[in-house]
Amino acid sequence: MRIVVAEDLYLLRDGMVRLLQAYGHQVVATATTGPETLEALLTWRPDVAVVDVRMPPTQSDEGLQAALAARREVPGLPILILSQHVEQLYARELLADGSGGIGYFLKDSVFDADQFVDALERVADGGTAMDPAVIAKLLSSGSSNRRLGQLTEREHSVLGLMAEGLSNQAIGQRLFLSESAISKYTTSLFGKLGITDDDTNNRRVLAVLTYLNNP
């Protein structure tokens, strides 16, 4: 994969570059400020980008703003946000276009290289990879979506794990259920959310975006 790494802390940035190269990926550009991030994303149009939220010059939300601006110019540009904070409003804005290719991980939650690279590859493929803490934060404002209200407690659990990027097999292992049982739950929740089997759409991504982008 061709990757842009936007991180202002030298040791973290250099560590990610070395890690991604060790996994056979190409880091085409790095950025240390918000403006540099936007320029790198639009110039290189990478397969995926890792973007910190708070970057110079003001150390507020320049990285996230750059990611949003880049996706407005390049719809669906895969972005994995890697931050110490959950910026709830902007996270929802990232999810709002419904195109997938979005991940949001907290730095404290990344425990090993395989986990991080696996999440990055899922985002590059147009999927989602969400930190459970981010999901909890996004859902903390409560649900007003009528269709989500139709899901059973088990279907909510399956959808939450789907949002983290887990496969049916992995969800089954987490919930101590068979893969076929999880497949039945996913088929049921797709129906309740009104997501049809269409070759042009990724039903898992649409279901996750409905779940997380609930107003």
- pLDDT value of position 100: 74
Contacts of 205 (CB under 8 A, 6+ apart): 100, 126, 127, 128
Where is pLDDT greater, at 172 or 195?
A: 172
Residues whose CB is less than 8 angstroms from the CB of residue 16 and which lie 6 or more positions away in sequence, other chains included: 5, 7, 50
- Residue 148, amino acid: L
The C-alpha torsion from 19 through 212 and 97 to 144, rounded to 10°, is: -170
Task: Give pLDDT, residue 208.
Answer: 82
pTM of the model: 0.77
117: Cβ contacts below 8 Å, ≥ 6 apart: 19, 20, 23, 25
Q: How many whole angstroms separate alpha carbon 138 and alpha carbon 215?
A: 10
Q: Is the peptide bond preceding residue 215 cis, with omega within 30 degrees of 0?
A: no
- Band (pLDDT 50/70/90 cuts) for residue 140 is low
> pLDDT category, 203, cuts 50, 70, 90?
confident
List the strands of the sheet with 102-106, edge to edge.
26-31, 2-6, 48-51, 79-83, 102-106, 128-130
* Confidence check: pLDDT of 141 > 60: no
What is the mean predicted confidence (pLDDT) over 198-203?
69
pLDDT at 34 over 90: yes
pLDDT at 3: 97
Q: Which burial class, exposed, middle or buried, applies to 106 when counting CB atoms under 10 A from its CB (0-12, 13-18, 19+)?
A: middle
Residue 71 C-beta-side C-alpha neighbours within 13 Å: 26
pLDDT tens digits for range 62-89: 998 999 999 999 988 999 999 887 777 7
Please tell me the predicted confidence (pLDDT) of residue 138: 72
Q: Which two tokens stand for residue 52?
A: 């910190």
Q: CB 213: neighbour CB atoms within 10 A?
A: 17
What number of other Cβ atoms are within 10 A of residue 20's Cβ? 21
- 215, pLDDT greater than 60: no
Q: How far apart are CA 5 and CA 35, in angstroms?
A: 13
